[in-house]
């Protein structure tokens, strides 16, 4: 019995590793398309990728392989293209068929953008993947009651949110508007825009330059670049509960991690027994809480 259970565990672990590799391969293949769709239609790339992973089984489902349909979109009355039939919620349902999988991504964008039932989604910020995931479930995109949770789990497991941040500051916010938002760690921030300086932000936000630099742990001579997180309050001693650990990515500094999760840099050093100024290689698992 013990050998049998051990064999089951080995097989289960092997299957999990294969599935993860398939997901990483899917992300590598399709993230640029998802980002391009985001920049044109305002749909978070993380949401598009997570839906594609989930709906197409990493591009390996029968519907995805035979029909290049990565989002499980059914025919509906207005569909004039090719079609195939599969059993889903009901037997022999009609699904859209595409000449190329990239056409499926474009049709997914149009499907959400042009239907009134999804209009409220576009009132959400294009980097708020949690609001989008919950909005899709509420609008009836899928029948699975855990659909929003499944999307959010995929986004956070594979850090798909990083692709949402590829929007330029000008795309994130109107040129004449500076929007104050709250991070997952409950710290207010803005995204710097083209032409912003510390003096401009301080005046617009009724802050002192010295305070903004201190909150963001920067020197007085640091040049502000567009598209950067600027905290308006001190960062916290530890990350939010859902971000207990983080694996450092290629080219990422500990300061980048500090800004990403609104955690003071000195606390990251301390929690990981690192010396001030020390950097770690990609793949290092950091404790943030």
Whether pLDDT at 169 is above 50? no
Whether pLDDT at 52 is above 70? yes
141 and 45 belong to one structural domain: yes
42 and 122 belong to one structural domain: yes
Quote the pLDDT of residue 175: 47
Quote the pLDDT of residue 227: 83
Q: What is the pLDDT of residues 205-221, one digit of tens each?
A: 999 999 999 999 999 88
Quote the pLDDT of residue 266: 96
Phi and psi angles of residue 85, each rounded to the nearest 5 degrees, phi first: -125, 130
Domain boundary among 164, 188, 219: 164
Whether pLDDT at 249 is above 90? no
pLDDT-based confidence at residue 120 (cuts at 50, 70, 90): confident
Task: Look at the chain and report how many structural domains it folds into.
Answer: 3
281 and 194 belong to one structural domain: no
Give me the mean pLDDT over the 154-173 stretch: 77
- Provide the CATH number for the domain around residue 213: 3.10.350.10
Residue 181 in any domain: the answer is: yes
Nearest to 219 by CA among 228, 227, 210: 210
27 and 69 belong to one structural domain: yes
Residue 72 in any domain: the answer is: yes
Quote the pLDDT of residue 171: 55
Q: In the chain, what is the greatest distance between 2 CA atoms, to the nearest angstrom?
A: 71
Instruction: Kindly report whether the global pTM for this prediction surpasses the value 0.75.
Output: no
Q: Bigger pLDDT: 23 or 5?
A: 23
Whether pLDDT at 166 is above 90? no
Burial of 166 (0-12, 13-18, 19+ CB in 10 A): middle
46 and 148 belong to one structural domain: yes
141 and 57 belong to one structural domain: yes
Is 162:35 a contact under the CB 8 Å cutoff?
A: no
Residue 236 in any domain: the answer is: no
Residue with tokens 């565990």: 9
Quote the pLDDT of residue 271: 95
Please tell me whether residue 77 adopts helix, strand or coil conformation.
coil
Q: Where are the alpha helices (DSSP H) in 42-121?
A: 45-56, 62-67, 101-113
Geometric angle at alpha carbon 69, from 162 and 51, rounded to 5°: 30
154 and 176 belong to one structural domain: no
Give helix then strand counts, H and E, for the chain. 12, 7
Q: What is the pLDDT of residues 137-147, one digit of tens each?
A: 999 888 899 99
Give me the mean pLDDT over the 66-94 stretch: 84
Q: Bigger pLDDT: 90 or 3?
A: 90
Give the domain range for residue 215.
169-231
37 and 106 belong to one structural domain: yes
Residue 26 in any domain: the answer is: yes
pLDDT-based confidence at residue 16 (cuts at 50, 70, 90): low
């Amino acid at each position: 019995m013990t050998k049998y259970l051990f064999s089951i565990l080995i097989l289960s672990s092997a299957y999990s590793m294969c599935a993860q590799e398939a997901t990483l391969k899917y992300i590598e293949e399709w993230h640029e398309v998802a980002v391009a769709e985001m920049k044109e239609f305002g749909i978070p790339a993380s949401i598009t990728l997570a839906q594609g992973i989930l709906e197409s089984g990493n591009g390996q489902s029968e519907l995805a392989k035979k029909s290049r349909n990565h989002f499980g979109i059914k025919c509906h009355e207005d569909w004039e293209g090719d079609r195939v039939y599969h059993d889903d919620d009901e037997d022999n349902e009609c699904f859209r068929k595409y000449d190329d999988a990239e056409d499926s991504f474009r049709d997914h964008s149009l499907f959400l953008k042009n239907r009134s039932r999804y209009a409220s989604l576009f009132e959400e910020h294009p980097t708020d993947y949690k609001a989008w995931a919950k909005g899709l479930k509420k609008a009836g995109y899928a029948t699975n009651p855990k659909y929003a949770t499944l999307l959010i789990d995929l986004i956070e497991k594979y850090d798909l949110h990083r692709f949402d941040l590829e929007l330029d500051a000008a795309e994130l916010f109107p040129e004449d508007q500076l929007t104050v938002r709250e991070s997952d760690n409950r710290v207010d921030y803005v995204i710097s825009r083209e032409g912003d300086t510390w003096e401009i932000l301080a005046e617009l936000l009724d802050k002192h330059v010295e305070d903004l630099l201190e909150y963001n742990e920067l020197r007085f001579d640091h040049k502000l670049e567009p598209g950067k997180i600027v905290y308006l309050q001190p960062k916290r001693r530890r990350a939010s509960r859902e971000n207990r650990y983080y694996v450092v990515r290629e080219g990422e500094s500990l300061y980048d991690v500090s800004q990403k999760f609104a955690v003071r840099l000195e606390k990251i050093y301390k929690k990981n027994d690192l010396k001030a100024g020390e950097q770690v290689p990609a793949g290092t698992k950091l404790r943030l809480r």
